[in-house]
């Protein structure tokens, strides 16, 4: 069979021209689709023009109306209204304003929403928000962006700004091609810069306006270009320009003021009414915010949370309520919550009395359901965190950098740790004692200390022991003369010191974890003029001399005198934390302490609430047990004194005949702890660095090696 010839199928003949035509058609179609995608259509009109017009003229109305979940959540206080009115005036007319407000005033949220008010309503064209923290300014930009993209009420009345932003659908890359009725919106939506869309709407007052966030320390380069011209800010809002470290450093304060004066104040163009607002808290005395308040070139106000404290501040709040709130067992799960509930119940039961006389700035500043009022809130902060936090974060009146708190006897007596007399906390490493020598009595206090200076008073009393709980030195029923009838003054003082020191050195203290501890160091006050040599002689002849016992003399160094760390090191001397052991004189050696420094330091630690690291607490559970001891501790007060360009606290008696002996004891115990090696973490390595070494005798070294 003959084979059929193979057939071939002819392919259609496509010329190059036809291929090009098809490609061009596809490209045009794609362009048309892209254009359709980029086009957002006509911009909607404002839904409520009357509401918008009303809020355009009133920052307060704007904050309350358009932000129901932040600045509109709770009614503003009169202080808020005062601050908001000041902000509005400076934004509209130009000027400089320093707002010093308390924590949780909502100052940052008010600042963010104020920028939106100024820009959206055309009051300002270019607003910059600056702060010391990169994280804080990044958070502020995120908040501003969230309001522009997700706030439905704002979008209703300011569609020219919010509608194009919403149409981005969270995709910043669309900003380059987005159009509105055929015209590019020219949005910029970056991490640190927003340029609002340009929309041809007759009601738009913010087309092309900008918002930027910057680091306070780097103001250079602030601005953006549009139409070939560089736009400079006409509104700068600086939020929290300082932190704890910079506020406490005079050099850093001056540096921050230079940045503000040389850069931020002159970042605007010459033809604009420039507005600059600085919001912050006074963190330290003479810090940046306080200096702005004292500068006549700046408007400003200092807002405190507490206008006046309760009439039962000491009796109810710092005693009854405080005992309830702090009366929980840390080892029992949920016991703290129980104590808090019982404290709240006590407050509700006696609320009329507890609130009497107390006036606070903002009655809505409290945390529900744990708290029921702003008054309870501030007292919880005071009890839990201490007056230093309240003074700085809520009152904008930082306490003295050294003393931190004006102590009261009620506060000190309330600081009980729940341990029995003589029981040592398990964190303690050292036990120290100080003896205050007087003609009729010897006063002593025994303290236990951790290496980081957590302190606990574990015992105190007098020699001889008194049969009454409350007495003065002059009225004490039993005196040392009664213990050695017929002897002279020197005999009964030496006899008393011998008996008391033997008792203290022989005492065995039990730590919470069962470890037995003994006395580490006793200091005996030898400052008393007429018996100075007698006390030094007793210390020199004591078996523990220079090892666990030493004479001590207090010296109040004022601002005009050199501190101990300014002395040149000498052989055979030792300089520690505001104490110095000099070379022997006439066979005696003793430790001299800067009592002004140490009293300020100890007072600051008495001011800390119970369970706060670095604080000082008392044994027992009943504050009434410590009435006499705590009264001694408030017998003196610091007086700020300046000389030779330095300012220091000089401690003085409030009443010349008021006993202060237990106060001297406590300060001496702290000095002894420093001599044994306890260190304050906050001052370690900064000042009063220990220098030099004492030379011990061979007998002393041998005795020390046996321990």
What is the tens place of the pLDDT at every residue in 441-472?
Answer: 999 999 999 999 999 999 999 999 999 888 88
Q: Give pLDDT, residue 87.
A: 97
Q: In terms of residue numbers, what domain contains 378?
A: 306-398
State whether 417 and 481 are in the same domain. yes
Domain limit, last residue, from 367, 398, 429: 398
CB 654, CB 635: distance < 8 Å:
yes
Q: Give pLDDT, residue 8.
A: 53
Q: Give pLDDT, residue 686.
A: 41
What is the tens place of the pLDDT at every residue in 487-528?
Answer: 899 999 999 999 999 999 999 999 999 999 999 999 999 977
Average pLDDT over residues 286-292: 91
Residues of the chain with pLDDT > 90, as a percent, come to 57
pTM as predicted = 0.61
Separation between Cα atoms, residue 457 and residue 449, nearest integer Å:
9
Answer yes or no: is 12 within a domain: no
Answer yes or no: is 18 within a domain: no
State whether 629 and 518 are in the same domain. yes
State whether 178 and 239 are in the same domain. yes
Separation between Cα atoms, residue 682 and residue 620, nearest integer Å:
29
CB 597, CB 670: distance < 8 Å:
no
State whether 561 and 649 are in the same domain. yes
Two tokens, residue 535: 């006390």
What is the tens place of the pLDDT at every residue in 554-583?
Answer: 998 888 888 887 777 788 888 888 999 988
State whether 467 and 418 are in the same domain. yes
- Which residues is 239 bridged to in the sheet? 279
Separation between Cα atoms, residue 107 and residue 87, nearest integer Å:
11
Please say if the pLDDT value at position 703 is more than 60.
Answer: no
DSSP state of 394: I
Answer yes or no: is 157 within a domain: yes
State whether 378 and 438 are in the same domain. no
Please say if the pLDDT value at position 164 is more than 70.
Answer: yes
State whether 246 and 388 are in the same domain. no
According to the 3-state scheme, what is the secondary structure of 326-381? HCCCCCCCCHHHHHHHHHHHHHHHCHHHHHCCCEECCCCCCCCCCCCCHHHHHHHH
Domain limit, last residue, from 302, 337, 359: 302
Domain limit, last residue, from 398, 425, 446: 398
Task: Output the average pLDDT for the chain.
Answer: 86
Separation between Cα atoms, residue 611 and residue 621, nearest integer Å:
14
The full DSSP string for 65-116 is HH-TTTTTSSPPPHHHHHHHHHHHHHHHH-EEEEEE--TTS-HHHHHHHHHH
State whether 257 and 377 are in the same domain. no
Domain of residue 171, CATH code? 3.40.50.300
Please say if the pLDDT value at position 12 is more than 70.
Answer: no
Q: Domain count of the chain?
A: 3
State whether 631 and 525 are in the same domain. yes
Please say if the pLDDT value at position 173 is more than 90.
Answer: no
State whether 281 and 377 are in the same domain. no
Answer yes or no: is 32 within a domain: no
What is the tens place of the pLDDT at every residue in 260-271?
Answer: 998 898 887 656
Q: Give pLDDT, residue 612.
A: 82
Answer yes or no: is 458 within a domain: yes
Q: Give pLDDT, residue 642.
A: 81
Answer yes or no: is 679 within a domain: yes
Average pLDDT over residues 367-380: 95
Q: Give pLDDT, residue 274.
A: 92
Q: Give pLDDT, residue 7.
A: 52
State whether 252 and 351 are in the same domain. no
What is the tens place of the pLDDT at every residue in 592-640?
Answer: 999 999 999 999 899 888 888 889 999 998 888 998 999 999 988 888 8
| Residue 471 CB neighbour total at 10 angstroms | 16
Answer yes or no: is 21 within a domain: no
Answer yes or no: is 7 within a domain: no
Measuring CA to CA, how many Å separate 634 from each of 79, 203, 621, 655, 658?
35, 67, 20, 10, 10
What is the tens place of the pLDDT at every residue in 109-154?
Answer: 999 999 999 999 999 999 999 998 888 999 999 999 999 999 999 9
State whether 466 and 560 are in the same domain. yes
Q: Give pLDDT, residue 463.
A: 97
């Amino acid at each position: 069979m003959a084979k059929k010839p193979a057939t071939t199928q002819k392919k259609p003949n496509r010329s190059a021209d036809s291929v090009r035509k098809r490609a061009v058609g596809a490209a045009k179609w794609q362009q048309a689709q892209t254009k359709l995608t980029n086009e957002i259509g006509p911009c909607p009109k404002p839904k409520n023009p009357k509401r918008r017009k009303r809020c355009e003229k009133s920052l307060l109305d704007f904050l309350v109306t358009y932000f129901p979940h932040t600045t509109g959540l709770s009614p503003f206080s009169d202080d808020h209204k005062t601050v908001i009115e000041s902000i509005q005036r400076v934004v509209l007319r130009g000027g400089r304003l320093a707002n010093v407000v308390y924590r949780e005033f909502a100052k940052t949220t008010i600042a963010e929403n104020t920028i939106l008010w100024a820009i959206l309503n055309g009051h300002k064209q270019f607003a910059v928000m600056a702060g010391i923290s990169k994280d804080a300014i990044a958070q502020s930009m995120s908040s501003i962006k969230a309001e522009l993209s997700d706030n439905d009420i704002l979008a209703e009345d300011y569609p020219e700004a919010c509608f194009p932003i919403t149409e981005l659908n969270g995709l910043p890359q669309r900003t380059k091609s987005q159009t509105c009725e055929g015209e590019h919106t020219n949005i910029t939506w970056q991490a640190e810069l927003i340029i609002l869309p340009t929309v041809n709407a007759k009601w738009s007052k913010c087309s092309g306006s900008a918002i930027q966030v910057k680091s306070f320390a780097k103001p250079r380069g602030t601005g953006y270009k549009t139409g070939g011209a560089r736009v400079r800010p006409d509104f700068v809002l600086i939020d929290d320009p300082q932190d704890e470290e910079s506020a406490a450093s005079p050099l850093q304060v001056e540096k921050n003021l230079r940045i503000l004066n040389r850069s931020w104040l002159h970042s605007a163009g010459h033809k604009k009414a420039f507005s600059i607002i600085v919001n912050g808290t006074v963190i330290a005395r003479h810090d940046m915010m306080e200096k702005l308040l004292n500068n006549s070139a700046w408007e400003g106000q200092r807002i405190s949370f507490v206008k006046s404290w309760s009439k039962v501040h000491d009796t109810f709040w710092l005693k009854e309520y405080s005992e309830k709130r702090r009366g929980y067992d840390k080892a029992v799960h949920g016991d703290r919550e129980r104590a808090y509930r019982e404290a709240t119940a006590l407050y509700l039961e006696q609320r009329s009395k507890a609130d009497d006389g107390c006036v606070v700035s903002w009655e809505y500043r409290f945390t529900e359901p744990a708290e029921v009022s702003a008054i309870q809130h501030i007292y919880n902060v005071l009890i839990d965190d201490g007056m230093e936090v309240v003074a700085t974060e809520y009152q904008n009146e930082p306490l003295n950098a050294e003393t931190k708190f004006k102590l009261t006897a009620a506060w000190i007596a309330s600081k009980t740790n729940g341990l029995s007399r003589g029981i040592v906390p398990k964190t303690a490493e050292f036990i120290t004692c100080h003896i205050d020598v007087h003609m009729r009595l010897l006063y002593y206090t025994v303290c236990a200390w951790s290496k980081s200076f957590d302190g606990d008073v574990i015992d105190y009393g007098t020699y001889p022991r008194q049969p009454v709980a409350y007495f003065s030195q002059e009225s004490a029923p039993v005196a040392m003369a009664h213990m050695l009838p017929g002897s002279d003054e020197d005999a009964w003082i030496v006899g008393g010191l011998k008996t008391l020191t033997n008792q203290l050195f022989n005492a065995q203290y039990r730590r919470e974890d069962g470890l037995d501890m003994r006395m580490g160091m006793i200091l005996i006050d030898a400052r008393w003029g007429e018996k100075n040599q007698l006390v030094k002689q007793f210390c020199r002849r004591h078996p523990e001399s220079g090892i666990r016992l030493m004479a001590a003399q207090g010296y109040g160094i004022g601002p005009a005198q050199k501190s101990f760390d300014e002395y040149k090191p000498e052989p055979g001397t030792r300089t520690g934390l505001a104490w110095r052991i000099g070379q022997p004189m006439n066979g005696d050696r003793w430790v001299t302490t800067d009592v002004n420094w140490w009293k300020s330091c100890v007072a600051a630690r008495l001011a800390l609430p119970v369970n706060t690291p670095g604080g000082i607490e008392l044994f027992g559970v009943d504050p009434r047990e410590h009435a006499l001891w705590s009264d001694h501790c408030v017998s003196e007060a610091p007086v700020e004194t300046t000389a030779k360009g330095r300012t220091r606290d000089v401690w003085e008696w409030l009443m010349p005949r008021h006993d202060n002996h237990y106060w001297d004891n406590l300060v001496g115990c702290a000095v002894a702890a420093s001599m044994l090696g306890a260190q304050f973490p906050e001052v370690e390595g900064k000042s009063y660095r220990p220098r030099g070494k004492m030379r011990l005798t061979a007998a002393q070294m041998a005795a020390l090696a046996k321990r």
